[in-house]
A and B are shown apart, each in its own frame.
Chain A
Amino acid sequence: MKPSNPKVARRTLLRGAGVAMTLPWLESIAVWGHETVTGNDVAASPKRFAALFMGCGINRNHWWARGSGKDMELGKSLAPLESIKHKMNFITGLFNENATGVGIHPGQTGNILSGASLKKGSELRGDISMDQVLANHFQDQTAVPSLVLGCEQPVTGYHETNFSMAYSSHISWQNATSPVPMEVYPSLAFDALFDNQGSRRNESILDRVSEDAVALSRRVSAADRAKLDEYLSSVREVEKRAASMRASHAKAATRALDHGKPIQAMKRPDDGLPEDIREHMQLMCDLVAIGFQTDKSRVATLLLNRDLSGLFYPFLNVDSTHHSASHSDTSDAYERISRYYCSQYAYLAMKLDSMQEGDSTVLDHSCLLFLSSMWSGNAHDSSKLPVLLTGGLSGELQTGRVLDYLDKDDEDRRMCSLYLSIMDRMGVSLERFGDTDQRLAGI
C-alpha cells in the first residue's frame, strides 16, 4: 500500500510487532484523521472508496440481476451478495473506449481506472487512476492516503500485443508513467496501517536532525544560533504534532475500552505470503475494512488477481489456472471462479456493513466498486464491463438498482463518467477525467 503522492511519505517496511490497537468510531469521540472533535459535535463520517479488481472477465450466463431493492433477483454467480443486494447497484454496459481495439489483456487493464490510452513497447505511459486522484485529495487527512493491495505479484515483460505486462499487474497509477507500488504481503500492509511507519520513520529522522541542529548551533555565533533555533523549533513542532496525533488516537482507544465497547481488533498477519489464496484474499479484505473503519485510509484498491492471472483453484475443483479457465468462460468451472470472486467482494461489503458507525455502518459511507477487465474472457470482449457498486456514500448514492447502459451512445456509457460521478460525490470535482467530461446519467 502506498500513498499516492510521491511527495508523501511512502509505505515503509518497519517490522511492527504484535497486535495493534484499532480505533472504532464512537459517538462521543470522533477521530477522523488529523482532526479531533470532542464535546457534542459529531463529526460527519468520512466517505471511502475501494475498487476490487478481477482479471479476465466473468461467466456472463450467470452474471445478471433483475428487479430492484429487496426484490432484486440475482444470477448464480452473484448469489454471495444476496443478503446485501439492497445496498448494491448492478451495472452493465459501461466501457473504456481506450481499452477496446488495442489488443487483449494488458491494454484492457492498465487503464481500467484511468481511461487513458496506453503506450506500447518498453516505455510505460498511461495516466493517473481515479483512486489516486482521490488519494491525493485526502492525503493530508489520513495516515495512509491509499491502500494499494494485490494478491498476485506484479510482473513486467511483454505481451504479444507489445503492451508491457506491467499494465496487467497495476490498476493504480500515480502518474502517467509510474504505477503505485502494490503491497502483496498482508503483514507489511498491516504494518503500514498500524505502525504509522511513515510518521514513525520521520520521527526517527527528526530526532537526529534536532540533535544535529543542537550540535551545530553550539559551534556558531549567537546570531546564527537564532536562525538555527528557528529551524529547531520547527522540527520540534512537527514532532510534537505527530506525537499528539498518536496520543489522541491512543486516548480514544483507551476511552473506548473504558466504555466497555467492543473493539474490533485485527491480529498482525504472519510474515510471508499465505499459502492459500483464500486466506490471502480475506486478509487483504480485512485490511481494507479495518483501514476504513479506523479512518487510517479512505481509498483502497485491491487487485484480487492480475489480468492474465496464474492463480489456480484446487479448492474449487478447477485444474487450470485462472487465465486458461477464462478461455472457457461459460463453463461451470469458470462460473465457480466468478462466484468465488464475487464472494470476496461480498465478504468485504458485509464486513464493512457489520461495522457500526453512528446510526449506520461503514459500508453506508463507502463506495465499493467491483470490476473486471472484460465481459467475456473467451472473446476478450471489453466492449462492456461487469460493474458492481455497493454502499451508499453517506446517502449520496442510491442503491438496490439494476442499471443497463448498453443501449446508450458510447458517449453516455463511459467508465470515466462513472468515475467523475463517484468523485463528485466524494468532494473531488474534476472538469474532465480520462476520456470524458460527462457525468454518468442516471447514477
Chain B
Amino acid sequence: MFVALRGQICRLLYSFDTERHRPGSFRMKCLLPRLNFPPTDAPMPLLRFLPSVLMLGWMILLANSSPAQSNDVLDNQFRDVVQPILREHCWQCHNAETGEGDLDLSADDDVAAVIQNFRRWTVVLDRLKTGDMPPEDAEQQLTAEQRAAVSDWIESLKNAEAERTNGDPGIVLARRLSSSEYDHTIRDLTGVDIRPAAEFPIDPANEAGFDNSGESLVMSPALLRKYLQATRTVADHMAITPTGLAFAPHPVITPTDRDKFCVNRIIEFYSQQNTSYEDFLFVLWRYRNRNTSAGYDDSLASLARQAGVSERYCQTLWELLEAPTPDMTNASGPITALRVLWRQLPEGTKVDDRVRAHFGITQMVEFIRMLRQTLVPEVPNLTAPEIHSGSQALVLWKNRQFVANRQRYAETELPSLTELLTSDFGLVKDSEAAAAMRVPDDENRDAFVEELRRFCEVFPDQFVVTERARVYLDPKQEVKLTGRFLSAGFHSQMGYFRDDAPLCNLILDESQRQQLDQIWLELDFVSAAPMRQYAGFIWFDRTDSAFMRDREFDRYRAEDKDNISEEKVRGLSNAYQAKAKLLGASKDALAAIQFYFDDMSKTFRRLETLKIESEAVQLEAVVRFAQRAYRRPLSKVDRNTILAFYQSLRHDDGLVHEDAIRDSIIRILMSPQFCYRVSLPSDRSVHVENGIAPLDAFSLASRLSYFLWSSMPDDELLSLAASGALSDPEVLRAQTLRMLHDERAEDFVINFAGNWLDFRHFDQHNGVDRNRFPTFTDELRQAMRREPIEFFRDLLQQDGSVLDFLYADHTFVNPALAKHYGVDDETIRQASSSEHPSNWFRLSDAHQYKRGGLLPMAVFLTTNSPGLRTSPVKRGNWVVQRILGEHVPPPPAAVPELPADESLLGELTLRETLARHREHPSCAGCHERIDSMGLVFEGFGPIGEMRDADLGGRDVDDTAVFPDDVAGGGLDGLRDYIRRARQDDFVDNLCRQLLAYGLGRTLQLSDELLIQQMKTQLAGNDHRFVSIFETIVSSPAFLNQCVPSQGTD
C-alpha cells in the first residue's frame, strides 16, 4: 500500500498488496493514509450499488475485456525484461539527476511504484508508440522487439490495473467552491447576480487542467479575508421584510438605496400589467367569433391568457357589451354608444375582418378616452391660513380626492350635460352611436346618467398613477418634473402615495392584489418611508413654510428619532390643529390635518408592531436560507447553532435585530458547509464495504449541479434528493437532460470548455499590438471569446455530434466577429437582425471564410500568437495537446527565442526558421509532431484574420507534412489528417477531459474502462454529445464515494 503526500494534499491512490494478491479475484480498496485507515481485505462490493440496467452493461464489459495478467507475472517481466532495456537505453538521459523531459525512469522499482506513478509511464508508452524515443541521434536504437516488449508490458499493466480497480470512485477531495462557482451559487441562492467573488484571485487548475478540484483549490488567510468581504457584500444586498428576507441587485443600506429597491419592484409590477383597451376589446372580438367546434379551447379565459390581458376585466367588459338590453331603441348614453359600435364590428376571422375589427376597436377606444377625459372634475387645492399649500396634510387630501374620482361620475363637480356633450367624442357624425350620445330629454335623463355612472366605473380615468410632480401647483408648470416614481407630490420632501385602486378593482386577480399589497408594505417596512416622510414634514413646515417656527414647535425636531412616538405625534397634532383653528382654518382643512396625524400615527404603530412580530419570521427565514446555502436538510445541531448565534449577537454583543440577522447570514456564508463541497458519509444504515459507499442523495444533487451548472442544485433537484427519487436511473437521466438544456449549462460550458481549450481569461488578453491591429477592439476580443461558447452550447442543445467540433461547416458569430471573418455587410445585416436577440447568429457554409468548428476560431489563433507574428509551434501545440490530448514535454530551457515580430525574421520565413530548428535531432522529436499542425494555420495572421502575406510581406504557405508523412494544406489538410489518423485521439481526449471535470479529480487507472465505455457509447450513437453525459452520471465513479472503513475512524 502506498500513500503519496504532495504538499498539503493527500493524494490518494489505489494500490494493492502484491504479496497477498490472489490471481483472478478482483479486489479493490480505497487506500487512505496508513496511519488512519488500515484497509480491510474484503471482496469488491462495487456492483451492488449499480442500478440493475447498468449493471448488466458493466458485467458484459468486464466479461469482454481481456483477462488480466497476474501481478506476479507482470512483476517478473518488469524485473527481467523491462528494466534492463530501460537501464540500457533510457536511463542515460531520464535519470534522477538529469531528468530530461521531466522524466526519471529509474525511480520506479517495482509494479506498485509504476502504478503509483503511472502518468509518467503513459508518456513512455506514447513516445515508444510514435517511435520518437530514443531520439534519432541516440547511440543505440531499440530493436522492434525491445520496443514492443516495453510497450506491451505497460499496456498489460494498465489493462490489468484498470480492470482490477474498475469503477473505483477515487478520492474526490473536499474543496472550497471555485470563484465562478461561488458567484453562481450566490446568484442562485439570492436570486440576484452580485458576483462577490470578482476580487478573488484566479483559481489554479489541477493536473487535469480544471479549477474544480480539491487538488488545486486551496485556502489561505488572505483569501479568507476576501471571503469575509464578499459575504459582507452579499449581506449588504439583503433587506429584511415582513415575510422574511429579500435580496436586492444593489446594496440596501442607505435610505436612498432602500427606496430604489422597493420602488423599482412596484414600478416593475405595474409595468407588467396590460391596461390597453385595444388589447382587451380585441380579445372580446376574437371570443365573439370563437371556434365552437370541439377540440378548441376558445374560452374567454384562455384567449385572455394568450393575449396576456386580465381575464377578470375581459369578463367585466364582456358583460357590459353583451348584456341583453330589453329595449335598445330608446336607450341612450355612453354604454349604449359602445354597444352600437361593438355590434358593428365584423363577424368572421379572415384577415380582412381582423383589419376592420382593429379599425372599429380603435374607434371605440378613442370614444372611451375622449369621453372619459371630459368626465374628470377639477380638484381645487385645500388651503388654510398660513399653512403652506404644499404641506403634507393638504397635498395628501388632494391626492385622496383624485383617487375618489377615478371610478366615479362626479356629477356635482362637473358641468351640466348640455355643456359636456358638445363634442362628438370621435364618433361618426349622425351615426347610430353618435345618436346615443345626444343630450337626453328629461324622460331619458336618469337612464343616461346611470350609463355615465357605469361608464366611469368600468373605465377609470387612470388605472394606476406611477409618477407624480407637485400636485398643488399648476400642472403646466410641472410637466418637466418626470420620473418621480410613486411620489406623493410634495416639494422637497420624500413621500410615497399609492394610487392604483382601479387596477386592483378591475384588473388584478386575488393573488396579484396580495402580491402588490405585499410590496407596498415592504416599501414602508424596508425603507421606513412613513417615518422619513414625517421627518420631512416637520422640516418643511419650519423651513419652506413658517407655520412651525413658533417656540411651541421647537420640541418637534426632524432629526429626533422619537418624533414618531404616539405621545409626540399627538402633541404635534394638537399644537398644529390649535394654531390652524386659531388662524381660521376651514372644517375640511382641520379634518384633513387631523386625518394626517391620525393616519401617520396609525402607520407608525402598525410598522412598529410588524417589526417586532416579524423578527421571528426573519429568523426562521435565516434558517431556511441556511438549508439552501448548505444544500441539504439542516441537522438539529445546525439549526440550533444558527439560532444560538443570533441570540448571542443580540444579547452578548448587543446587536440590533437587523444587524444580528445580517451577521447570521454572513456566518452561514462563511461556514464550510456553504463555501466548501464536502461529501458527507451517508447515514449509518448504508452498508459500507471496502471503503466504498453510494453518495447520499444530496451530495449527488450537488455533484450533478456543480458538474452541469457550476452552481448549487435548484429546488427540483433538492426535492428529488429528499424523496430519494434521484437515485432512480431514469430520473437521473431526465434530470441530466433538463439541466443541460437549462440556461445555467452555459456556466458549465464556460468552465469546462474554457479550461479545456484555454480561453477562459481571453477577455483579459493583452498580447495584441493594437496599433498594428486597430480592428482588435474590446468588442472583438469579447466576441472571439464568446464564439466557442456559442458553438459548444448549440452542440449541446442540438445534441449534435462531437465530431462537429472538428469538422463542422458552421460556426457562430456576431456582427463584429463576422466582419473580422470577412462576411459581407449585407449578410451580416440580414442574419443578425433576425435570429438572436444578442445578435449572435449561425454562420453556415463557413468554409467560404475558412472557418467551421473549433480549429480555426480566432480566439485560439490569437491566443497562440505572440503579438506581431504567428506561432506555428504554439498553434500546433494547442492542437496537439488540447484537441488531440497528446502529452508533449516542455521545451528545454536553452532554446533561443524567435524574434517577436515576423517582419524581423530576416531572410528566412518563419517556416524555414522552424525547419532549421527541426534539423536538430533533440528538437525534432517533439516538433515533428507539432509544427505541421500549426503551419497549416499560416493563412491566418496574429489575430486570426485571413491573410495572403505575412507581416514581412512574404507570401504565406500553409502546407505541411503531417506526422504520418502525408502532405496537406490549410484547415482541410489538417482535418483530413485528423480524420485518417487522429480522430480517435480527439474522442478519447474529449471523454477524458469531460470525465475529469465531471468527477472533480484527476483521472486514474480505474477510470479506463469507463472511458472505453464512453467511447463505445459515442460510437454507437452517431457521436451524439449528450450520450456521454449520461454515461458519466450513471457510472459508479460518479455515484459512489470512498469512505473510511467502519471502525477505523
Would you give the 0/1 interface string for A340-353, flagging 1 where the beta carbon is closer than 8 Å to chain B? 00000000000000
What are the 4 closest A-B residue pairs judged by CB atoms, nearest first? A121-B483, A157-B494, A224-B174, A310-B539
Residues of B within 8 A of A160 (CB): 470, 481, 491-492
CB under 8 Å from chain B, chain A span 367-391: none
Can you name 16 A-B residue pairings with CB atoms under 8 Å? A9-B232, A122-B467, A123-B483, A157-B487, A157-B490, A158-B491, A201-B655, A208-B671, A209-B671, A216-B678, A223-B32, A223-B33, A226-B10, A272-B562, A309-B543, A322-B543
- The complex places the Cα of A308 from the Cα of B543 at a distance, in Å, of 9
Question: Whole-angstrom distance between the alpha carbons of A89 and B649 in the complex?
Answer: 48
Closest to B482 in A: A121
Given contacts A205-B663, A228-B678, contact A273 B175 (CB under 8 A): no
| Partner of B484 from A124, A162, A213 at Cβ < 8 Å | A162
Do B232 and A10 have beta carbons less than 8 Å apart? yes
B654 and A14: CB pair below 8 A? yes
Q: Could you tell me the distance between the alpha carbons of A312 and B671 in the complex, rounded to whole angstroms? A: 51
Say if the beta carbon of A29 comes within 8 Å of chain B: no
Q: Does A7 contact B (CB under 8 A)?
A: yes
- Contacts A122-B485, A158-B481 supplied; 9 other A-B pairs, CB < 8 Å: A10-B236, A122-B260, A152-B559, A162-B482, A201-B663, A204-B648, A230-B219, A234-B220, A234-B221
Chain A residue nearest in CB terms to B235: A10
Q: Is the CB of B649 within 8 A of A121?
A: no
Q: Using Cβ atoms and an 8 Å threshold, which residues of chain A touch B9? A: 226-227
For A12, what are the chain B residues with a Cβ–Cβ distance below 8 Å? Answer: 655, 659
A:23-73 near B, CB below 8 Å: none
Chain A residue nearest to B672 (CB atoms) is A213
Chain A 193-214 near chain B by CB (<8 Å), digits 1 or 0: 0000000111011101101110
Which residues of A sit under 8 angstroms from B535, Cβ to Cβ?
A: 153, 155
Contact status B659-A310, CB under 8 Å: no
- Distance from A206 Cβ to chain B, minimum over Cβ atoms (Å): 7
A182, B256: Cα distance in complex, Å: 12
Given A170, A182, A234, which contacts B224 in the complex, CB threshold below 8 Å?
Answer: A234
Cβ of A273 and Cβ of B490 under 8 Å apart?
A: no
Q: How far is the CA of A14 from the CA of B654 in the complex (A)?
A: 6
Q: Does A323 contact B (CB under 8 A)?
A: yes
Contact A157 B220, beta carbon cutoff 8 Å: no
- CB neighbours (8 Å) of B229 from chain A are 7-9
Contact present for A219 and B681 (CB under 8 Å): yes
Contacts of B263 in A (CB 8 A): 122
**Also in contact, A14 and B672, with CB within 8 A (given A160-B492, A219-B680, A227-B174):** no
A1-18 interface bits toward B, Cβ cutoff 8 Å, 1 = contact, 0 = none: 000001111101111000
- Stretch of A235-243, A358-366, A404-412 with 4 or more beta carbons under 8 angstroms from chain B: A235-243
Residue interface mask B407-451, A partner, CB < 8 A = 1: 000000000000000000000000000000000000000000000
Q: Is the C-beta of B532 less than 8 angstroms from some C-beta in chain A?
A: yes
**What chain B residues lie within 8 Å of A213 (beta carbons)?**
671-672
Given A208-B641, A320-B549, the answer on whether A227 and B485 have CB atoms closer than 8 Å is no
Q: Which residues of B contact A178 (CB under 8 A)?
A: 250-251, 254, 256-257
A354 within 8 A of B: no
Residues of A within 8 A of B467 (CB): 122
Binary interface encoding of chain B residues 1-29 relative to chain A, with 1 for a CB under 8 A from any of its CBs, else 0? 00000001110100000000000000000
* Closest chain B residue, CB of each to CB of A15: B654
Within 8 A of B (CB), among A254-278: 272-273
Number of interface residues of A (CB under 8 A): 77
Q: What's the Cα separation between A123 and B250 when bound, in Å?
A: 13
Least distance between B221 CB and chain A CB atoms (Å): 4
- Of residues 222 to 270 in B, which have CB atoms within 8 Å of A's CB atoms? 223-225, 228-230, 232-233, 236, 250-251, 253-257, 259-260, 263
Determine the chain B residues whose CB is within 8 A of the CB of A155 once the complex forms: 492-494, 532, 535-536, 539
Closest to A230 in B: B219
Query: Which chain A residues border B199 with CB–CB below 8 Å?
Result: 7
Q: Mark B168-201, 1 if CB is under 8 A from A, else 0.
A: 0001011110000000000000000000100100
Q: Is A331 located at the chain interface by the 8 A CB criterion? A: no
Whether B671 contacts A231 by the Cβ 8 Å rule is no
Chain B residues packing against A (C-beta within 8 Å)? 8-10, 12, 32-33, 36-37, 171, 173-176, 196, 199, 214, 218-221, 223-225, 228-230, 232-233, 236, 250-251, 253-257, 259-260, 263, 467, 470, 480-485, 487, 490-495, 532, 535-536, 539-540, 542-544, 546, 549, 554, 557-562, 637, 641, 645, 648-649, 653-656, 659, 663, 666-667, 670-673, 676, 678-681, 1042-1044, 1049
Smallest CB separation, B103 vs chain A (Å): 28
B-contacting residues, A272-312, CB 8 Å = 272-273, 308-310, 312
Q: Give complex CA distance A221, B532 in Å.
A: 55
The residues of A that contact B670 with a CB separation of less than 8 Å are 205-206, 209
Contact between chains at B641 and A211 (CB < 8 Å): yes
B175, B561, B653: which contacts A201 (Cβ < 8 A)?
Answer: B653
Q: Which of A155-188 contact B (CB under 8 A)?
A: 155-160, 162, 164-166, 170, 177-182, 184
A443 within 8 A of B: no
Given contacts A222-B10, A320-B549, contact A9 B485 (CB under 8 A): no
With the chains together, A12 CA to B662 CA distance in Å? 11
Min Cβ gap A164→B in Å is 7
Are B260 and A204 within 8 A (Cβ)?
no
- In chain A, residues 322-344, which have Cβ atoms closer than 8 Å to a Cβ of chain B? 322-324
Cross-interface CB contact of B678 among A159, A220, A235, A320, cutoff 8 Å: A220
Complex Cα spacing A424 to B65, Å: 74
Chain A residues lying within 8 Å of B653, measured Cβ to Cβ, are 14, 200-201, 204
Asked if residues A157 and B174 are in contact (CB atoms below 8 Å), the reply is no
Q: Is A120 an interface residue (CB 8 A)?
A: yes
Instruction: Tell whether, in the assembled complex, residue A216 and residue B673 are in contact, meaning their CB atoms are under 8 Å apart.
Output: yes
Q: What's the least CB distance linking B651 to chain A, in Å?
A: 12
With A159-B492, A162-B483 as known contacts, state yes or no: A223 contacts B10, CB within 8 Å: yes
A9 touches B228 (CB 8 A): yes
- CB <8 Å contact, B645 and A7: no
Indicate whether A80 reaches chain B with its CB closer than 8 angstroms: no
Bound together, the chains give a CA A182 to CA B255 distance in angstroms of: 10
A10 touches B253 (CB 8 A): yes
Please report the C-alpha to C-alpha distance between residue A7 and residue B214 in the assembled complex, in whole angstroms: 27
Contact present for B532 and A228 (CB under 8 Å): no
Q: How far is the CB of B382 from chain A (nearest CB, A)?
A: 21
- Assess the B549–A202 pair: CB atoms within 8 A: no
Cβ of A7 and Cβ of B233 under 8 Å apart?
yes
Select B232's contact among A7, A159, A204, A237, beta carbons within 8 Å: A7
Residue of B nearest to A121 (CB): B483
Q: Is A215 an interface residue (CB 8 A)?
A: yes
- Choose from A15, A162, A181, A272 the contact partner of B480 (Cβ within 8 Å): A162
Neighbour of B673 across the interface among A6, A200, A212, A227, CB < 8 A: A212
Q: A223-B32, A238-B224 are in contact. Are A273 and B561 (CB under 8 A)?
A: yes
Expressed in whole angstroms, the Cα–Cα distance for A10 and B663 within the complex equals: 12
B567 to chain A, nearest CB (A): 16
Q: In whole Å, how far is A162's beta carbon from the nearest beta carbon of chain B?
A: 5
Q: Are B493's CB and A238's CB within 8 A?
A: no
C-alpha spacing A88/B729, complex, angstroms: 80
Given contacts A7-B233, A156-B494, A160-B491, contact A220 B681 (CB under 8 A): yes
A153 touches B673 (CB 8 A): no
A229–B676 CA distance with the chains assembled, in angstroms: 12
Is A321 in the interface zone, CB < 8 Å from B? yes
Q: Of A123, A223, A238, A323, which is in contact with the most chain B CB atoms at under 10 Å from its CB?
A: A223
